[in-house]
Structure 1
Amino acid sequence: MRITPISDETARKALLDSRGFVRWIYIARLSLAVALLVAALLAGGRPDPTDTIIASLAFAASVAFTAGSAWSSFVQRRPLGATFFYLQSLFDLALVTAVVHVTGRSASPFVALYILVIAAASLLLPPGGGLLVAALGNVVFFTDVILSRESAFDVALWLQLGIFGVVALGSGWIAGRLRQGAAGRDQLAAELVQARLEAADILHNIRSGIVTIDVEGRLLYANPAASALLDADLESRIGQPFLDWLQPLTPVLAGALRESITTRQRIVRAEGDVHRESGAMTIGVTTTAPEAPLDGQHGLATSTAIFQDISNNKRLESLRVRAERLEAVAELSASLAHEIRNPLASIRSAVEQLAQARHATEDDRVLGALVMRESDRLSRLLGEFLDFARTRATVIEPVDLGEVVRGATNLAAAHPSRAEDVTVSCSTPETPLVIEADEDLLHRAIFNLALNAVQAAPPGGRVDVDVLPLPADEVPAGSGFDNGAVALRVTDDGPGIPRDLRERMFDPFFTTKDGGTGLGLPVVHRAVEAHRGLVLVDTGTHGTRFTVLLPLAQSGSTEES
């Protein structure tokens, strides 16, 4: 945090309102000049002509000097610097000396006016200025006494001069302490302003949403990220009831804020969905513990919630669990397939021989054909199990993903199971997107995804297959795509995947299609995983999007290709 040093001049200005202080000096000066003139003119007996002349000159000079100073300080609004205050102090010393001279010299009851001039100078002038004015005051007062032929060795006179010095020292010390306090106060204010600016900048740019409510449930603050995450203009809702509006949008956030402000306890972690028009999203919520105002202070307790999009984190966690489950199922499938396949082949061979024997009846031949047909079907199913278990990337080489996608999409678009008038669109970059992949395995995975989309689209529907580089801020955290990623998106406008089936769609052997094996999506997952990629699914009541993220090839590999 950078703090700008505060000069003595800044501290002096912070100490008091200089222009307001000077205004009172002007009023006191003119009042003193008028009183001096009146006193000289109305003196008992015959007035001294010299005193009258001095009083008249002092009055005229005071009016002229004060008028000029007021014009400069209040009309022209010129800066009030040290020179200005030195001139004011010198003139006031001269005026007080005239008053003292006219009213009795060293015996004048107005000698104490020197103290006021010295004190004012100590407050207005830089350090040391008060002592200088005190010294000048001593000089002019002492000179006036000497010229008046009064005793310069009178004890009261020397005591008076000493008082001037003490007042200057005391006023200077007090002014110095006040300057230090003002400087410290301004420095603290500068630090607070800087901290506030930094905090505001952080809150404005942080990717987590932050909202604050009071005990009445009114919204007090919301940062831009909160508006973006909730897909709403929260700035326009400041000061309005917030929890009732928030409840249908995201019950978890509304519930956390309501519980926090009611129980005055912090919600460490809560997770739930945000039902936005642009699509559902999972958020993680943490709240602060509301505190009641301190004794003697007014105000209401508040609660602040911090929330962020954890959809990608939940997806990655789900992917890890799915991968572990598929790996276990693959091992079991391979073991069972090997155990069943050889006996099944023997059974088929034996039944075939029995059905072809001379003594076999017609019923024996029909039953034998049935057994052989089912044996062949089971053998094909076991072959698919083994293919699923053996899903490995064996030949890794630089591959243009766009070319593979175009080939697989064209093949799926020509499949006989496609509904009538389904439009299949394929968009790939003009420049090659090179990845390290097993082309055959990748082609198989992309074909399965495209075929699923084509089969899910209704008559007259649409399937979009897009390949595009993925911006860094869209790459899920923790995905490990250090060299960048490429996204393959397969989107259909079908009925979507029912909620109760979403958790099972990647389970092996689970299918909703007649005659399906339930191995299409599991093979896609294992094929993408073999390429160190991810498969993400976004679905709702209308349409489904599968997104495959694959790491880009390293620059060296790209150049070699």
Structure 2
Amino acid sequence: MPQNQLNPTMFGVPDGRGVRRFAAGLAFLSLVALSVTAWIFFDVAREQEIVARIITHLPQSDMAVVEELSGDLQLRSKLSLLLVLNIVGTAIAFALVVRGYVTSEQSLRDAQVLATDIRASLDGGIITTDQEGRMTSLNPRGRELLGLSEDDGEGMTPSQAGSEHALLDAICHEVNQHQTPIRDRDYTILRNGYEHTLRAGCTRLKNQRNEAVGTVIHVRDVTERVLMEQRLRRMERYMGLGSLAAGLQHEIKNPLSALSLHLQLLGEHVSQNSPDVETQELLDVLHTEVTRITHVLDSFRNYASVNELGRSWVDVATLIEKLVRFLHPQVKKQNVIVKVELPPQSLGSIEADSGRLEQVLLNLALNALAAMPDGGTLQFRLSRIQDSLRIDVSDTGNGIPMEIQSQVFDPYFTTRNDGTGMGLALCDKIVRQHAGSIDFRTSPSGTEFSVMLPMEGNG
């Protein structure tokens, strides 16, 4: 079956064979009537010729009977009229049948074309299956989502198109077994090295006689929607965490300052009495831990800060070039190659807080370098998408494991022994303060973070 062609009999739609049979039957009956009329016409004509020959041999006394018989046989003109009327009626009836047939065929073709156009225009995939779960038709979007070519699909099960689509087989079986529709079942697939979230549903497919002939599967790519939902959940968490961070920073800072001061005094007192090595080591440990707690509190303060942004006109391309120069010693030490892709023409400036935006780029770059301890490629890419400026920072590390991907923007979540877990959380907060968004795509061959900043009204 061609890619966009529908099978009308699957949905109980007449395919034109009934109309053709009716037209053929009517034409046959008309021809039979015409043949019978013609046969009668010629038979009467032959009888009239016989009567005419008999008249020439009859006496004058029998002429009255002969004329009466001849009058009874004067049906030729009437039969001629009947024959003409029969021919005209048959022609009209046949023309009407042909016209009706052509009209019904054209209407059927128009309905098929309309249905095909609608299916082809849908943003979601529409797949029909028979009762055994084999696909009977797919619209173009369905083929795209299943990764099938134009010649593949019919006669296959969704899982045969790819094991990642096994969920579609499962929901088809469930619908056929329980006879209830299924909605919004999510599963993930890998396309071009990135994960996409597909949302599928399934209902029973019935014909005009209300007989189940298979199932209809609808599939949508909801990757962007899922990312948006994740952003909303992060914002909800951050609203509570921001208040908590501010409270903790205030409550702990004062006792910690007193502890630090008394620790310093204790160190001075001990040093005057020639302390032993063990005592000095204990004091160093206390000093180190107090310093570490101070750094954590500073992260609390930065995260909970509600200060207004110091906005100014910022050329992001210049920020990236400045950051590359700053990172040069580190990338050289790690044997990392830095690539910068800037548009041939300047994208202009945006109104932003230069210092905080630079902090975002630095945190993303440092995370990328941490993912490539044995070398790799760090890439910065700048582009414009509609009214937004897009900044991509990518690495060629091992990617982010699936089990922690939902936590990377959470405050205090880190997989590094020397990390505070606040880097990406601060990045997300700063970007949101700029009315932008930050997301990432990851695979075993690397990770790419994308920052979108609005350029409306910017030069």
Partner of 1:114: 81
For 1:485-538, what per-residue CA distance to the aligned partner results, in whole angstroms no more than 9, with x for missing partners? 232222211011112222222221222223211111111111111111121121
For 2:241 and 2:415, how far apart are their aligned partners in 1?
Answer: 19
Name the amino acid aligned to 1:45: R
The 1:235/1:435 distance shift into structure 2, 3 A limit, reads farther
Deviation at 1:244, TM superposition (A): 4.3
Partner of 2:157: 242
For 1:356 and 1:421, how far apart are their aligned partners in 2?
Answer: 45
In the alignment, structure 1 residue 384 sits paired with structure 2 residue 299: yes
Name the amino acid aligned to 2:427: V
Q: Is the 8 A contact 1:393 1:527 kept in 2?
A: no
- For residues 157-556 of structure 1, the aligned pairs below 5 Å read 190-233=106-149, 235-238=151-154, 240-246=155-161, 248-276=163-191, 278-291=193-206, 294=209, 301-357=213-269, 360-363=272-275, 366=280, 368=283, 370-390=285-305, 394-412=309-327, 414=328, 416=330, 420-429=334-343, 430-470=345-385, 484-554=387-457
For 2:310 and 2:271, how far apart are their aligned partners in 1?
Answer: 53
For 1:465 and 1:251, how far apart are their aligned partners in 2?
Answer: 37
For 2:141 and 2:404, how far apart are their aligned partners in 1?
Answer: 33
Deviation at 1:200, TM superposition (A): 0.8
Specify every segment of 5 or more residues in structure 2 that has no aligned partner in the other structure, as ranges.
1-21, 57-68
Partner of 1:60: none
Aligned-pair RMSD on alpha carbons? 3.8
- SS of the equivalent of 1:236 reads coil
For 2:43 and 2:324, how far apart are their aligned partners in 1?
Answer: 106
- For residues 110-149 of structure 1, the aligned pairs below 5 Å read 110=76, 111-124=78-91
For 1:330 and 1:389, how far apart are their aligned partners in 2?
Answer: 5
For 2:192 and 2:283, how far apart are their aligned partners in 1?
Answer: 60
Q: TM-score under structure 2 normalisation?
A: 0.79
For 1:184 and 1:29, how far apart are their aligned partners in 2?
Answer: 27
For 1:349 and 1:196, how far apart are their aligned partners in 2?
Answer: 84
Deviation at 1:205, TM superposition (A): 1.9
Deviation at 1:36, TM superposition (A): 7.9
Q: Is the 8 A contact 2:363 2:427 kept in 1?
A: yes
The 1:339/1:387 distance shift into structure 2, 3 A limit, reads same
Partner of 1:147: none
Which deviates more, 264-273 or 115-124?
115-124
Deviation at 1:284, TM superposition (A): 1.0
Deviation at 1:456, TM superposition (A): 1.1
- SS of the equivalent of 2:142 reads helix
- For residues 15-164 of structure 1, the aligned pairs below 5 Å read 45=53, 104=70, 107-110=73-76, 111-124=78-91
Q: Is the 8 A contact 1:391 1:526 kept in 2?
A: no
Q: TM-score under structure 1 normalisation?
A: 0.65
Partner of 1:477: none
- SS of the equivalent of 1:290 reads strand
Q: Is the 8 A contact 1:485 1:552 kept in 2?
A: yes
Q: Is the 8 A contact 1:538 1:545 kept in 2?
A: yes
- SS of the equivalent of 2:188 reads strand
Name the amino acid aligned to 2:243: E
The 1:20/1:279 distance shift into structure 2, 3 A limit, reads farther
For 1:257 and 1:434, how far apart are their aligned partners in 2?
Answer: 53
Return the index of the structure with the highest Cα Rg: 1
Q: Is the 8 A contact 1:216 1:241 kept in 2?
A: no
Deviation at 1:38, TM superposition (A): 6.0
- SS of the equivalent of 2:152 reads helix
For 1:291-318, what per-residue CA distance to the aligned partner results, in whole angstroms no more than 9, with x for missing partners? 37738xxx87111101100111111111
- SS of the equivalent of 1:452 reads helix
Partner of 1:163: none
For 1:398-440, what per-residue CA distance to the aligned partner results, in whole angstroms no more than 9, with x for missing partners? 433333233334433x253766321111112222244332121
- SS of the equivalent of 1:362 reads coil
Q: Is the 8 A contact 1:214 1:303 kept in 2?
A: yes
Partner of 2:7: none
For 2:23 and 2:83, how far apart are their aligned partners in 1?
Answer: 17
The 1:501/1:278 distance shift into structure 2, 3 A limit, reads closer
- SS of the equivalent of 2:181 reads coil
Deviation at 1:26, TM superposition (A): 9.6
Q: Is the 8 A contact 2:125 2:219 kept in 1?
A: yes
- SS of the equivalent of 1:237 reads coil
The 1:184/1:121 distance shift into structure 2, 3 A limit, reads closer
Q: Is the 8 A contact 1:269 1:285 kept in 2?
A: yes
For 2:359 and 2:55, how far apart are their aligned partners in 1?
Answer: 123
Q: Is the 8 A contact 2:37 2:79 kept in 1?
A: no
Name the structure, 1 or 2, with higher relative contact order (CA <8 Å, separation 6+).
2
For 1:119 and 1:44, how far apart are their aligned partners in 2?
Answer: 28
For 1:392 and 1:186, how far apart are their aligned partners in 2?
Answer: 75
For 1:342 and 1:244, how far apart are their aligned partners in 2?
Answer: 62
Name the amino acid aligned to 1:342: N
